[in-house]
Amino acid sequence: SAVISQKPSRDICQRGTSLTIQCQVDSQVTMMFWYRQQPGQSLTLIATANQGSEATYESGFVIDKFPISRPNLTFSTLTVSNMSPEDSSIYLCSVAMGSYNEQFFGPGTRLTVL
Amino acid sequence: KQEVTQIPAALSVPEGENLVLNCSFTDSAIYNLQWFRQDPGKGLTSLLLIQSSQREQTSGRLNASLDKSSGRSTLYIAASQPGDSATYLCAVQTGANNLFFGTGTRLTVIP
């Protein structure tokens, strides 16, 4: 398994601002993922972040709104840009490990946009 | 697109009871299936992973089964405890490593 930490754990932000969320893993991993969990809903994949290449975004998510960095094999950031109240969600990073790509999740960042 | 459904959405049982959570998915071309638990305001904890070639997987009081042809999985919890109270999420993984999540079952175990 992996130990994954995220910063910040929660934040309250004003409309129109941006927030960068950090994800740190205790071991080197190739694949990292960013998910969003809107209130009362399940998780939706935002993008896959592989080190050394551009992030791959899922339908409905664009780089201008959710830029991602992956500078090395243990760290990634997700920025939520030009925020609106609709961006209020829990944002989670995950990694895939092992022969069967079992995914492990960080504790999440709870974002509230006023 | 893969769609994952979990029934029931919420379940309340007395302590000590055995229970079954259900998960169904629309596309049987999966790589594996994972069950997670999520405590309120927290991240996800991986409980069990079943490979597409497996029929079941066990961990302690938990047993997960997979019937890929019918697009179904169940999570059996034996001798439930108040500490089992959480939301249980089922997720199927495609070859692209994308996890498709169900909507979850919120379990409450009453002491």
Residues of chain A with pLDDT under 50: none
Query: Which residue type does B39 have?
Result: D
The answer to whether A100 faces chain B, any CB pair under 8 Å, is: yes
Contact state of B34 with A101 under an 8 Å Cβ cutoff: no
The answer to whether A13 faces chain B, any CB pair under 8 Å, is: no
Report the gap between the CA of B14 and the closest CA in chain A (Å): 25
Whether the CB-CB separation of A42 and A104 falls below 8 Å is answered with no
Chain B residue whose CA is closest to A96: B97
pLDDT of residue A53: 83
Whether the CB-CB separation of B88 and B9 falls below 8 Å is answered with no
Alpha helices for A1-114 (secondary structure H) = none
pLDDT of residue A79: 98
B57 vs B55: CA distance, rounded Å: 7
Q: Which of A57, A59, A111, A68 is nearest to A86 (CA)?
A: A111
B42 vs B44: CA distance, rounded Å: 7
pLDDT of residue A40: 83
Q: What is the pLDDT of residues B59-93, one digit of tens each?
A: 999 999 999 999 999 999 999 999 999 999 999 99
Q: What is the pLDDT of residues B37-63, one digit of tens each?
A: 999 878 899 999 999 999 999 999 999
Q: Which of A108, A112, A81 is nearest to A94 (CA)?
A: A108
Least confident of A11-25, B3-17, B96-110: B96-110
Helix (H) or strand (E) holding A3: none
Cα dihedral B4, B7, B9, B13 in deg (nearest 10): -140
Chain B residue whose CA is closest to A1: B46
A18 vs A6: CA distance, rounded Å: 17
